Amino acid sequence: MRKIRDVLRLHHAAKLGRRAISRSLRLSPTTVGEYLRRAEAAGLSWPLPEDLDEIALEQRLFPPALALPLATRPVPLWEAVHRELKATKAMSLFLLWQEYKAGAPEGFQYSWFCEQYRAWLGKLDLVMRQEHRAGEKCFVDYAGQTVPVIDRLTGEARPAHVFVAVLGASNYTYAEATWTEALPDWMGAHVRAFAYFGGVTELLVPDNLRSGVHKACRYEPDLNPTYQDLCAHYGVAVIPARVRRPRDKAKVEVGVQVVERWILARLRHAQFFSLSELNATLRRLLGDLNDRPFQKLPGSRRMLFESLDRPALRALPAEPYEYAEWKRSRVHIDYHVEVDGHYYSVPYALVKQVLDVRVTAHTVECFHKGQRVASHPRSSQKGRHTTLPEHMPEAHRQYAQWTPQRLIDWAAKTGPATGAAVEAILRGRAHPQQGFRSALGLMRLGKDYGAERLEAACRRALALGAVSFKSVQAILKHGLDRQALPTPELTPPAPAHENLRGPDYYY
């Protein structure tokens, strides 16, 4: 029995508030407020009439609803309710019921509305019982069935794998054939699927394929860094299906089944001699599949896509994703990292640090703690170096600016003998760079002794055939550059003797 009389007494006679009444009678404040509102609407106050018993009081406050025949009450169009419920995240059954009641005041109440909608929903396929918002999810996977592609030269049949992507709200389907399920084909299929849809969903739901998920985990799966890079480019989040939980990706499971039944089954007797030929046929049959009417719903996949998913998809970025692979590389002591046999410079302060390297077909980018620290054009020359001057220490930078010819030209400004001495030093080494220090040291002697004395010392060293930094330094130290150059002594001819054969003996 409702405690209506006690609520009215405590409110009017005891002057208690709603919360005090609710604590006293152990009723919710909402119930107390509803009793007071209905009593005021019925014109009742305190004290109540003596002839008004509990049953009459309850009937005054809670009159029975007018009995209308069921046939005269309008029934909602459940297909429209279902479509509206999926159109946006903010939509609810209560709001749709309010709109239904606003258009038909004699219609059914909220509890009947929810019960009948769920009963109608239960008659649909399993896939349609899942609630998917427009533009929210895209389910991706590879079909288990492959398609053979024949090599015209050898006659060998190579299996092609079929990639399938399905949008959650409309079941709009995309399919294409790739040679493998490896990372490059997996990434390229995603790019072409987004281009086919003309937009991007909020979420991607893949299987735990190694190309997408590096390490499967129920709570925090570890995504492949390249796959994560693609998702960041398109601004989409990834929620991989749980391991051995096919219902997490039931959309694509059914989508794969539909593709196998309505597309691949039709190709069982067809022969294909190239991957492009197979994909052209798949694209044509895919259009027929998306235009095929539903069995238990009005319209088709394409119609639902145009009305639900397409308006809700996010816009594609200005440029499609460029395939890139990630690797970790430690910086060597020469401040270079190795990628496919070529060496690329990074700032010298990162020596011995481990960097994340992003490699595309044209560029090599190095990242340290998420910040890009170097970027180079990719080179195919193995064993060679690509070095930026700003990555070098100051001493190395100055040293790298010198070349053998530049050293010779600089030394020739002091004098021809100095230039010839530097050239002789560089040529006397297996690699000219090995003589750079000696040449620079010889040029520094000009600051200590002057250019004139350096030129004379180099001239003397050339004449003696002893060109080196130490020999020139010794000449200057002992002042030998100030002495006259030694004149070569002529060797006197050998005296005539019977034991000397002479040049004619050998002819």
| Inter-CA distances, 389 with 284, 291, 342, 365, 394, Å | 55, 60, 17, 17, 9
Q: Is the pTM of this model over 0.95?
A: no
Is the pLDDT at 205 greater than 70, yes or no? yes
Q: Considering only residues 384 and 211, tell me which one the structure prediction assigns the higher pLDDT.
A: 384
pLDDT value at position 506? 58
Q: In this predicted structure, what is the pLDDT of residue 112?
A: 81
How does pLDDT run across 60-105, given as a tens digit for each residue? Answer: 777 765 544 555 677 888 888 887 877 666 677 888 888 888 888 7
Alpha-carbon gap, residue 39 to 7, rounded angstroms = 10
State how far the Cα of 460 lies from the Cα of 481, in Å rounded to an integer. Answer: 7
Do 147 and 272 contact (CB within 8 A), yes or no?
Answer: yes
pLDDT band, very low/low/confident/very high, at 177 (cuts 50, 70, 90)? very high
* Tokens matching residue 62: 């809670």
The pLDDT value given to residue 220:
38
The answer for residues whose C-beta is within 8 angstroms of residue 501's C-beta and 6 or more apart is: none
Highest mean pLDDT range out of 169-178, 233-242, 258-267?
A: 169-178
Q: Residue 288: phi, psi to the nearest 5?
A: -65, -40
So what's the pLDDT on residue 133? Answer: 78
- Per residue in 96-136, pLDDT (tens digit) is 888 888 888 777 788 888 888 888 877 664 444 445 678 88
Question: Quick one: pLDDT at residue 19?
Answer: 87
pLDDT class of 254 with cuts at 50, 70, 90: confident
Q: Which among 221-225, 336-340, 486-490 has the top mean pLDDT? A: 336-340
Mean pLDDT of 268-276: 89
Of residues 258 and 216, more confidence is placed in: 258
DSSP 106-155: TS--HHHHHHHHHHHHHTS-HHHHS---TTTEEEEEE-S--EEEE-TTT-
Which is it for the CA torsion 23, 24, 28, 32, positive or negative? negative
Most confident of 20-24, 41-45, 283-287, 423-427: 283-287
For the residues 165-183, what does the mean pLDDT come to?
88
User: What are 139's strand-pairing partners?
Assistant: 166, 205
Query: What pLDDT, on a 0 to 100 scale, did the predictor assign at position 377?
Result: 92
Stronger pLDDT, 189 or 55, i.e. the higher one = 189
Burial 456-492 (b: 16+ CB within 10 A, else e): bbbbbbbeeeebbbebbbebbeeeebeeeeeeeeeee
Cα 230 to its chain centre, rounded Å, is 3
Mean pLDDT of the chain: 80
Confidence of residue 219 (pLDDT cuts 50, 70, 90): very low
pLDDT score recorded for residue 400? 60
pLDDT above 60 for 218: no
- pLDDT per position as a tens digit, 360-410: 888 999 999 888 999 999 988 888 888 888 887 876 666 566 677 877 888
What pLDDT score was predicted for residue 248? 47
Q: What are phi and psi of 272, to 5 degrees?
A: -125, 140
Which residues have C-beta within 8 Å of that of residue 88, sequence separation ≥ 6? 133, 134, 312
Tens digit of each residue's pLDDT (9 = 90 or more) over 140-165? 888 888 999 998 888 899 999 999 99
pLDDT at 503: 64
Strands 354-359 and 371-377: unpaired
